[in-house]
Amino acid sequence: MTIKYAYYPGCSLESLAREYNVSTRLVCQDLDIELVEIPDWNCCGAAPACQVDHMLSSALSARNLALAESFKLNVMAPCPKCFNRLKEADLEMKDNPDHLREINNLLEKPYHKGVQVKSLLQVLYQDVDRELISCRVKIPLEGLRVACYYGCMNARPADINDFQNPEDPTSMEEILAPLGAELVDYPLKTYCCGAAFGLARVDLVLRLANELLEMATLVGADVIAVACPLCQQNLDLRQLQVNARYGTRYNIPILYLTQLMGLAFGHSSKELWLDKHFVKFRKLPGATQAVSSGAR
């Protein structure tokens, strides 16, 4: 049975994280999830807008929700920051009629509180049967040791990410388990990577990234799986800087969970945009050839 969602890619997935967008669309198609992109969507109002003007930030999210509502579809957002902002705005309008009225006075198309907002992790965890994921596997990821990293926004705050334990989330592990990979215990899976301080405190960012990469090395991870554009870019891009600062030799691929799913489902590295990462994922453990670069 096909599941249908109004798809909100957000700014990052249309720019620096296009590989997350592409792999999400491929995997959802494989899992019978139909994504209807919200037409003429706008920025959700996350960072810095929500800090400067709360009403503007809420109105930006409300406009997207109203557009999705016209299709009578619930919203799915892969970016955890977008998901948090959209759901926070939705809950605030549902809980506060005066706030909803103020927001609707700013909108051309009013919002009638008829939408539910879900993250990609929540959709894959709650709406997709594990048996279906197993049935889609063409190339089991046997021998690949994966550390699942949630970061700040995929597990917290608890009232937004209310479908799993905010201190010890397991949705990513349960989603990836049917692929055949070995999921290692990663104690720092909800620690901050420092991406928000990328310009203001590079020293702090490098220290936090070093701690995360060091722990991944200690637990023997071949790759780190993520579901956040900022986490992916920070840990991927910063590895050379971390190596220079701390004298380390990290070379750990940082892959979106949808890229790992896509590999297991038989998609090529070209389809999944694996070459767009700074640290390249070349081949699966025990494989005699590099990950396929051509079409299936």
Give the tokens for residue 164.
């799993």
Q: What pTM did the predictor assign?
A: 0.93
> Does 255 lie in the same domain as 197?
yes
> Does 250 lie in the same domain as 174?
yes
Residue 288 lies in a domain: no
Helices 257-264 and 18-30 pack at an angle, to 10 degrees, of 50
Give the tokens for residue 115.
């939408």
Residue 147 lies in a domain: yes
Q: What's the pLDDT at 197?
A: 80
Distance CA 7, CA 75 (A): 6
Using the predicted structure, report yes or no on whether residue 107 has a pLDDT greater than 60.
yes
Residue 201 lies in a domain: yes
> Does 93 lie in the same domain as 177?
no
Q: What's the pLDDT at 295?
A: 39
> Does 162 lie in the same domain as 52?
no
Q: Give the model confidence (pLDDT) of 31-56 as tens digits.
A: 999 999 999 999 998 866 667 788 99
Residue 11 exposure: Cα atoms within 13 Å on the Cβ side? 12
Residue 94 lies in a domain: yes
Residue 69 lies in a domain: yes
> Does 176 lie in the same domain as 76?
no
Range of the domain at 154: 139-276
Residue 108 lies in a domain: yes
Using the predicted structure, report yes or no on whether residue 253 has a pLDDT greater than 50.
yes
> Does 256 lie in the same domain as 145?
yes
Could you say which of 121, 147, 178 is where a domain stops?
121
Give the tokens for residue 68.
């999705």
Q: What's the pLDDT at 89?
A: 95
